[in-house]
Chain A
Amino acid sequence: MDNEAPNPFLEEDQLVRKLPDPCTLVILGATGDLTHRKLIPALYNLAADGDLPAGMKVIGFARREKTDEEFREGLEELNKKVSRQGHDERLWENFSQSISYHQSEFQDQDGYKRLADKLDEIDANGGSGNRLFYIASAPEFFDDILIHLEKAGLNEEKNGWSRVIVEKPFGTDLPTAKHLNSVVNSTFPEEQTYRIDHYLGKETAQNIMVLRFANAIFEPLWNNQCIDHVQITCAEPLGMEGGRGGYYDKAGAMRDMVQNHLLQLLSLVAMEPPTDLGADGVRDEKVKVLRSLRLWEGSEAVGENVIRAQYTAGVVDGEEKVGYRREDRVNPGSMTESYVAVRCMIDTWRWAGVPFYIRMGKRLPKKATEISIHFKQPPSVLFNQNPDQELSNVLVIRIQPDEGISLRMHSKIPGPALRLEPVKMDFQYSTSFGRKSPEAYERLLLDAMAGDATLFARNDEVEQAWKFVDEIEHAWHKSPKPPKMAEYPAGSWGPKEADQMLQREGRAWRRL
């Protein structure tokens, strides 16, 4: 099939991204939660929107014995619950016919050989020849899967392209991340490798670049002359429900969220304008931010600039919750943090002296992920001669839930007195655009099929992020005098030590 010939019916539109190519998507680890809750519903909704390329096929690759029908039934059950646009029986009937199941152990070479035969058969019957391998298994199987894909020749681009999507975690520290990158890149070249960070697929995360570079009013202010500090928060009321304790206790907040999602958001906020919107144009600038992050080396520096904590017993949404160490599958003596707050400094001309405070915590009162840009106070000349009044403007980008952007300004309250109070100019996706935003995975899968890696992490991005995190992890777990583990009651906004870290500099966490 000639994939290079233009579609004669397509009207060129500079606002439309590159069209996705039809392909066969192989999900390795297909019986897991990710496939059922995210990947298949994403594909279904793409189909519902008419965005899924014709001829798309999906093969679920996993260890359990299942028939195609059993696999489809399990997928349909979850799709009914989580699909963004609801579940249409006729559409599902049509869509599900493109889904099949392939049973094999991840270490069984014969299973990959049979997979290769299956893919060749699909291609012989009108398939596109393009293959997209989505590694959705537990991280301990990544090496095996990649090696076996290579041995079966599935990484070769014969009649089309061959790409791999890797889910986080990309390693557990810098050495393992480098190892994983080398294994991946020995099987698939970097330009065919897509490391998913689903936060980058969220509409509001994509909107950060638009906000900054498509609106002339913001960029002149986006520097240390006008910005006092930046806060990035990811708060979750959830704890270790659904048996998460086993995985989480080996990871912790720093590795699970900060190393990937939050540092990605930080780099989008702090990056220089790219020279173009190509994948490497954008990612080059993001990597520069990560390279400019000041490393906190040693127990003392880490203790002053990073707060780790575990939740103790408390109350969330009216229900009593146990402390972290008493959660199911968590080691009672665990030293894994369920909360982390980091003071980041970016040593560039633009950001010198501007702290970026990032925090992530489980069992906090609300679910909220947001970025807040806190501008400097105006000069004390006119309305703010009262030194007690805090008059800084705050631009807030809400990533989830309730996606949107708001700007806090000060306004005179109607009346005879000159009384200033904060007011919010608020833009909400849900009420501004009518239709619900596509889920992150919908965007990302389409981009992977289209060969657009802009919203995926590059190998050097991953490694630079690990370099920053590794110093902190080393101070926590390997230094003779590690910084202490603080505590906070479940349902509260985190440990006092995190508040004090900002208070020392005359600042405070934004109220969410």
Chain B
Amino acid sequence: MSDRNLSTLGKEVPVGEVDTELKAFFAADAEGITRASLMNFAIYTEADVETGLQNSEIIRLLTEETACRAILIISPHTNDGGEKGVRAWIDAHCNLGPGGKKAVCTEQVAFVLSGANTAMVNNTLFAHLDSDLPLVFWWRGELSPVFGDRLYSRIERFLFDSRDWSSPGVQFTRLVEAMDDDSADFVAHDLSYTSGAPVRRAIVNAFNDPRAKAAAPSLSRVTITHGPGHRMVALWLIAWIAERLNAELNESASGGERFVFDRHLSRFGAAVQMVFELTEAGECIHDAAITEVRMTDDEENAAITVSRATTAGFWKVHLDVPGCQNTVEELLPARPRQKSDLIAEILMRAGKNRSMLSVLPTLRAMLAQ
């Protein structure tokens, strides 16, 4: 990796002088710039350096709206042995403040570690946090031994993307064990789950219609079409729908891309089966992870479809249910869904992310299939 590429990270400084250099940067133009920070936002990746550098652009986009101290740690081959070293860079992302007088800048500190072990990663992070501010930690890629209690006990929000995991079932087990640890108090966010938020909102919107609500008990088939690489988003969606409809996974009847749930419509009645099927589309529509969700009854007398419009930035909600004289179609605006947008959406919310946590057991049961 050439130093020319690494120079995109900013000004290289000795690792022990990061804070001093940052202070000097802001002091050099104290009249013209002001520092803003609401949180520590750390991105950690064990990918190669070139891939790791792409995170700098995500930080730049994120900091347009979110003031933070961004800490990027690129640590390829962690715990593989090898000669140890840390290099550090500082940078600032500045935007003109209100009134155009002062630029508001957020700090970025980047580290490239070589031959790192868990202790080095932890120390690099801990030594450079902005004191007293929450730590939001985005782990990119597979969880590794670095994900230990000394790290996660210091994290407020832990972000990851299960689409990056080759064995999501195993990784979720690790995550849940960490969340159950007494020393842990972090809120977990899967970007795959967040990706599905517009679809969930569209489904909620659809069932606001009383005719759709009336058809809900009879729904027995759900077909979900997802874009390439977005299967996890679809699985989350299935788990969410099932959880909202009080359906339990029927493990013996499920297999492959077909998930069968038993739905208890009443306390004493027999369970009704609900079948979910996944289909992968050839391409994503406007970067949307989910292309279409179609919910029907056995005879297709009722059909509720949520789909991403191909021609414009909308979600279409289509109701074709008994009691409708005409089909009902509604359009919902679709917002951009780049990684930086997903993270900004997560950071906008407080709370324990209970929606995802309540669906997680169902998802894990599905992954165990």
Q: Which A residues contact B (CB, under 8 angstroms)?
A: 237, 313-320, 365-366, 368, 386, 388-389, 394, 396, 402, 406, 408, 413, 415, 417, 419-424, 430-431, 489-493, 496, 499-500, 503, 508, 510-512
Contact = CB atoms under 8 A, between A and B. Distances in A.
A511 B131 contact: yes
Contact of B127 (A237, A499, A503): A237
A3 B294 CA distance: 98
Interface residues of B, number: 38
Given A406-B132, A499-B153, A419 B123 contact: no
Contacts of B15: 317-318
B124 A420 contact: no
Interface of B: 15-16, 19, 23, 27, 30, 38-39, 84-86, 113, 117, 119-120, 122-124, 126-127, 129, 131-135, 149-150, 153-154, 182-183, 185, 348-352
27 contacts: A313-B119, A314-B123, A315-B84, A315-B117, A315-B123, A316-B123, A317-B16, A317-B123, A318-B15, A394-B132, A402-B19, A406-B132, A408-B132, A413-B38, A415-B348, A419-B350, A421-B39, A422-B132, A422-B134, A431-B27, A489-B119, A491-B123, A491-B127, A492-B126, A499-B153, A508-B185, A512-B132
Contacts of B153: 496, 499
Nearest to B18: A317
Most buried by B among A489, A491, A510: A491
A424 B35 CA distance: 12
A492 B119 contact: yes
Nearest to A490: B119
Contacts of A423: 38
B260 to A, nearest CB: 35
A511 B135 contact: yes
Contacts of A419: 348-350
Contacts of A512: 129, 131-132
A316 B126 CA distance: 10
B122 A503 contact: no
Nearest to A423: B38
A396 B27 CA distance: 22
Contacts of B124: 315, 318
Closest 8 CB pairs of A and B: A318-B86, A491-B123, A365-B126, A315-B120, A365-B127, A314-B119, A315-B119, A317-B16
A38 B52 CA distance: 45
B30 A431 contact: yes
Nearest to B114: A318
B183 A496 contact: yes
Most central of A423, A492, A510 by chain B CB within 10 Å: A492
A475 to B, nearest CB: 26
B183 to A, nearest CB: 6
A160 to B, nearest CB: 45
Contacts of A496: 149-150, 153, 183
A500 B183 CA distance: 8
Nearest to A312: B119
A495 to B, nearest CB: 10
Contacts of B350: 386, 389, 419-421
A48 B348 CA distance: 53
A510 B132 contact: yes
A317 B132 contact: no
Given A422-B133, A511-B133, A511-B135, A318 B120 contact: yes
B204 to A, nearest CB: 17
B183 A493 contact: no
B150 A492 contact: yes
Contacts of A493: 126, 150, 154
Q: Which of B27, B132, B134, B348 has the most CB of A within 10 A?
A: B132
Given A318-B120, A320-B84, A489-B122, 5 more contacts: A315-B119, A317-B16, A318-B123, A408-B132, A413-B38
B126 A366 contact: yes
A266 B115 CA distance: 42
A318 B348 CA distance: 34
Contact of B352 (A315, A319, A366, A388): A388
Contacts of A490: 119, 123
Contacts of B131: 368, 396, 510-512
Contacts of B85: 318
Contacts of B126: 365-366, 491-493
Given A318-B85, A511-B129, A503 B183 contact: yes
Contacts of A386: 350-351
Contacts of A511: 129, 131-133, 135, 154
A147 B67 CA distance: 63
**Which of A365, A368, A394, A420 has most chain B Cβ within 10 Å?**
A365
Contacts of B150: 489, 492-493, 496
A492 B122 contact: yes
Contacts of B38: 413, 421-423
A423 B51 CA distance: 33
Contacts of B349: 417, 419
A237 to B, nearest CB: 7
A417 B348 contact: yes
A415 B182 CA distance: 34
A503 B182 contact: yes
B325 to A, nearest CB: 36
Nearest to A237: B127
Contacts of B19: 402
A67 to B, nearest CB: 38
B124 to A, nearest CB: 7
A415 B124 CA distance: 34
A317 B86 contact: yes
A239 to B, nearest CB: 13
